[in-house]
Amino acid sequence: MKLYGSFTSPYVRRLRLILMDVKYEMIDAPTSSPEGRAILRKLNPTMKIPMFEDNGLVLCDSTVIAQYIHEKLDRQYLSIPQLNLLKIIDGITDSYIQLFLLDKSGFDTTDDKMYFNLQHERIERSFKYLEKIVAEKQISTTDWNYLSISLYTSLDWVKVRKLHDFSHLDALQTFYIAASQRDDVKATRIPV
Ligand SMILES: N[C@@H](CCC(=O)N[C@@H](CS)C(=O)NCC(=O)O)C(=O)O
């Protein structure tokens, strides 16, 4: 099994966390470097990470890769309602990835423009929604599965990149601090 990605990507980190106790090869292929892009170009038309290769099968989306790994290792994957929550977490993550790339491309993403406003509204509403979900313990650190892992890696990414302050959302903040204490989480820390 080969996982292609970077050590900063929240999507790649999810997979690194579910593969903690499994033998696999990690191939450093950041989308921001020419070397990384050359590696991806050979196999992955989306040019996004994570990318995963096993026995000639190439997968290029974290949700699909996670399902493949769970099935291969005979582990229980997420239910449909849990997958739906995962997509809300992904909605925040994807919006921030877009805003991050736009910012790096010289745009002021705080401008009152339709595209930026759509991302900001999605982010705000999704954070509030997830706060309720975590307060109801539908996602918790005591149930450390692909959903809680994904929530943590996205929260940590927006925090480390200083993209979003969620410290006023009590349940999310408590969840974040508790998950930060885990050894596997510490071992996969985003390099700064
Ligand atoms: N839906 C994809 C999203 C992956 C994604 O957006 N990855 C980012 C890095 S965290 C990326 O490759 N961005 C480069 C780009 O958008 O060109 C997944 O779940 O794997």
| Domain limit, last residue, from 46, 72, 98 | 72
Q: Are strands 25-28 and 2-5 parallel, antiparallel or unpaired?
A: parallel
At 52 the pLDDT is 98
Question: What is the extent of the structural domain holding 107?
Answer: 80-187
Is there a single domain that holds both residue 103 and residue 178?
Answer: yes
48: domain CATH number is 3.40.30.10
CATH code assigned at 158: 1.20.1050.10
Question: How many angstroms separate the alpha carbon of residue 46 from the centre of ligand 1?
Answer: 9
Considering the domain architecture, whether residues 106 and 15 belong to the same structural domain is answered as no
- Are residues 31 and 44 in contact, defined by beta-carbon separation less than 8 angstroms? no
Torsion angle, CA of 190/136/61/3, rounded to 10 degrees? 40
- Check residue 192 and give its pLDDT: 84
Looking at residue 107, its amino acid is F
Question: Does 166 share its domain with 124?
Answer: yes
* 27 vs 50: CA distance, rounded Å: 10
Q: How many domains does the chain have?
A: 2
Among the atoms of ligand 1, which is closest to the Cα of residue 46? 17
Average pLDDT, the chain: 97
What is the position in ligand 1's atom list of the atom closest to the CA of 63? 19
Shared-domain flag, residues 11 and 93: no
Mean per-residue pLDDT, 69-91: 98
Q: What is the mean predicted confidence (pLDDT) over 55-79?
A: 98
- Model confidence at 84: pLDDT above 90: yes
* Domain stop point among 14, 44, 72: 72
Give ligand 1 pocket residues (Cβ under 6 A).
9-11, 31, 47-50, 61-63, 97
Q: What is the pLDDT of residue 95?
A: 98
Partners of residue 58 on adjacent β-strands? 53
Q: What is the pTM of this model?
A: 0.97
pLDDT in tens, 2-54: 999 999 999 999 999 999 999 999 999 999 999 999 999 999 999 999 999 99
Whether residues 91 and 39 fall in one domain: no
* Other CB atoms within 10 A of residue 191 CB: 7
pLDDT in tens, 94-117: 999 999 999 999 999 999 999 999
Backbone phi and psi for residue 153, each to the nearest 5 degrees, phi listed first: -65, -35
Q: Is residue 192 part of a domain?
A: no
Question: Quick check: bond before 30 cis, omega within 30?
Answer: no
CA of 165 relative to ligand 1 center, distance in Å: 22
> Is residue 9 located within the same domain as residue 86?
no
pLDDT of residue 137: 98
pLDDT at 138: 98
